[in-house]
Amino acid sequence: MGGWDVQSGSGVRFEWGPAGASRLASEAVCLVAVDVLSFTTAVSVAVDRGIRVLPFRWPGGPVSGAERTGAEQAAAAYARRSGARLASHRHTVTPETPWSLSPAHLRAAPFVGRLVLPSPNGAAIAAAAPPRVRVVAVCLRNTTAVGTWLASHGYGTPERPVVVIAAGEAWPDGSLRPAIEDLLGAGALISDLCSRGAGPLSPEAAATKASYEGTADLAHTVATSASGRQLAAMGFVEDVAIATEVDTSALVPVRHDDGSFVSG
């Protein structure tokens, strides 16, 4: 194929993963990241508590011990420069560092003003958007709030296009695994935007909307998806339950000039 502006002319566009975000970010006025299990749900829970979340791009796919150590050192240095605490991995939280990518951990942990949250998917999507592009984090908890906010700011037209990026997951070799929970989260937002007059939709966005609208039991589908079952097997059933708290949050996490997500 030639150029990648194949969704141009649409007010609402859709793609997958950090590579898709990089390709379409230049066309967007606003980029919306969707990582239901768990980055954007974690951001939503944190922002509900008044925590500013600074995403940190964690290496995706298989990494060597040296690469992991380097990433941990870089994340710690970024947290120090930002005057923030650093979230741990889900399995390594301690009483001293009780924050992680787990929404349940973030809900229960003590309040902190600024938190660096490493993530291989959602954080990479946010990093793909240049500073001039507004970045919003959406999940099933805040779909209506985000749709309302985007429409009130005039986003979702060919002149002010919204690019919705489903994060997906990674196969063991690091390649993208499209994830149904992110497809449905993106579809929920696109459906809401369409009800507010946004558009036209690209074919990709229209198909994503149809997938959401054709799903009878959203919570059951997410819980029994590959990602939902994997989290449950790891002992994080509550994270899946929080991710399916549909429209319980009225706050819209928006990337600030310093790179942190705050309530918009």
Intra-chain end-to-end CA distance of the chain, in Å: 38
Query: What is the number of residues in the chain?
Result: 264
According to the model, what pLDDT value does residue 2 have?
A: 43
As given in the structure block, the two tokens for residue 199 are: 């558009």
Do 112 and 51 touch, CB atoms closer than 8 A? yes
pLDDT in tens, the chain (264 residues): 444 567 889 999 999 999 999 999 888 999 999 999 999 999 999 999 999 999 999 887 677 888 888 989 999 999 999 999 999 999 999 999 999 999 999 999 999 999 999 998 889 998 889 999 999 999 999 999 999 999 999 999 999 999 999 999 989 888 999 999 999 999 999 999 999 999 999 999 999 999 999 999 999 999 999 999 999 999 999 999 999 999 999 999 999 999 999 999
According to the model, what pLDDT value does residue 187 have?
A: 98
Do 193 and 162 touch, CB atoms closer than 8 A? yes
Q: Is 69 helix (H, G, I), strand (E, B) or coil?
A: helix
User: How far is it, in rounded angstroms, from Cα 135 to Cα 128?
Assistant: 10
* Residue among 91, 86, 102, 124 at smallest CA distance from 37: 102
As given in the structure block, the two tokens for residue 253 are: 């996490």
Largest CA distance in the chain: 53
Do 89 and 100 touch, CB atoms closer than 8 A? yes
Q: How far is CA 146 from the centre of its chain?
A: 12
Q: What is the assigned CATH class of domain 12-258?
A: alpha beta
As given in the structure block, the two tokens for residue 245 are: 């708290």
Helix (H) or strand (E) holding 106: helix 103-108
Summarised one tens digit per residue, pLDDT across range 56-115 is 998 876 778 888 889 899 999 999 999 999 999 999 999 999 999 999 999 999 999 999
Do 114 and 260 touch, CB atoms closer than 8 A? yes
As given in the structure block, the two tokens for residue 168 are: 């997906």
As given in the structure block, the two tokens for residue 248 are: 């319980």
User: How far is it, in rounded angstroms, from Cα 223 to Cα 242?
Assistant: 11
Q: What single DSSP character describes residue 27? A: G
Q: Give 211's contacts (C-beta < 8 A, 6+ positions apart).
A: 183, 184, 187
* Residue among 170, 51, 60 at smallest CA distance from 116: 51
* Residue among 43, 58, 57 at smallest CA distance from 115: 43
According to the model, what pLDDT value does residue 127 have?
A: 87
SS3 percent helix, strand, coil of the chain, rounded to 5, is 45, 20, 40
* Residue among 138, 132, 140, 112 at smallest CA distance from 53: 112
